[in-house]
């Protein structure tokens, strides 16, 4: 028996939420956005959200939206959870680590970095601005973030990032691939990195932290919306 549209939406949403695309407390896209992205009716989306609220997964706040209350404990059996899904989960976990550490590193770099510390960050930014080559763009992005960690002058942070360098590279590759599907986002990405660099170079500790926080949050949101776009209701 063919599933109803709202049941299929529930399966897809559970799959997305299980992957870590959203954190508890995060607001999901609006009914209108979800309907458009799933190519489904708003009635079906609304029923799916109500069912997930009844399961304790979501909290629907009148006039505000739907918020993740608790991540599903297990993936839905009716939705295939492939190696690609596992990779996606790892990307989100790495973004959690990056948020925890890179925001602090950006602040420390703004406090501690000298001209020799700033130069590798600047060079990575220049390469990011000047190249159209995808691989060089990834290298520049990785180098930029690692240079900030080094500029924080904390050997433990530096060793930790070196330990996860492979995952870091994979995460940046995945996020750039998603973000740059829209060519106009390339300049936005560069501007985000420039904002981080300028805050660090001018010694603005709080601004450096906020810029890094905003950058990583934007990446996670864009990845989440991209994942929803790939889960259309037939």
Which secondary structure element, helix H or strand E, spans residue 115, and what is its range?
A: helix 115-130
Indicate the domain borders of the chain: 5-68, 79-232
Q: Tell me which of 1.10.3720.10, 3.90.950.20, 3.30.1330.60, 1.10.10.10 is the CATH number of domain 5-68.
A: 1.10.10.10
- What is the C-alpha to C-alpha distance for residues 118 and 78, in angstroms, rounded to an integer? 50
Q: Calculate the alpha carbon distances from 91 to 26, 107, 161, 167, 175 in Å.
A: 17, 24, 15, 8, 8
In CATH, what is the architecture of 79-232? Up-down Bundle (1.20)
Residue 68 buriedness (CB in 10 A; 0-12 / 13-18 / 19+): buried
Spell out the per-residue pLDDT of the chain, length 234, in tens: 678 888 888 888 887 777 677 888 889 889 998 888 888 899 999 999 999 888 888 899 988 999 988 766 655 544 444 435 556 677 888 888 999 999 999 999 999 999 999 999 999 999 999 998 989 999 999 999 999 999 999 999 999 999 998 888 888 988 888 788 777 788 999 999 999 999 999 999 999 999 999 999 988 888 877 766 665 554
pTM of this prediction?
0.69
**Strands in the chain per DSSP E:** 58-61, 65-68
């Amino acid at each position: 028996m063919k599933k109803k549209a709202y049941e299929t939406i529930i399966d897809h949403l559970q799959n997305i939420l299980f992957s870590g695309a959203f954190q508890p407390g995060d607001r999901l896209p609006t009914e209108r956005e979800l309907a458009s992205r799933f190519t489904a009716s708003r009635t079906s989306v609304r029923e799916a959200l109500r069912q997930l609220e009844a399961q304790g997964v979501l909290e629907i706040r009148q006039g505000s939206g739907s918020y993740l209350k608790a991540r599903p404990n297990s993936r839905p059996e009716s939705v295939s959870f492939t190696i690609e899904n596992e990779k996606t989960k790892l990307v989100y976990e790495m973004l959690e680590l990056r948020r925890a550490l890179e925001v602090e590193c950006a602040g420390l770099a703004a406090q501690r970095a000298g001209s020799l510390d700033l130069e590798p960050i600047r060079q990575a930014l220049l390469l990011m601005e000047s190249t159209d080559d995808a691989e060089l763009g990834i290298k520049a992005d990785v180098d930029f973030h690692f240079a900030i960690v080094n500029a924080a002058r904390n050997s433990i942070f530096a060793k930790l990032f070196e330990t996860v360098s492979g995952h870091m590279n994979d995460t940046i590759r995945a996020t750039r691939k998603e973000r740059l599907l829209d060519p106009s986002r390339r300049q936005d990405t560069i501007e985000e990195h420039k904002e981080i660099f300028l805050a660090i170079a001018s010694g603005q500790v709080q601004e450096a932290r906020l810029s890094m926080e905003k950058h990583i949050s934007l990446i996670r949101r864009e990845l989440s919306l991209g994942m929803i776009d790939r889960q259309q209701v037939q």
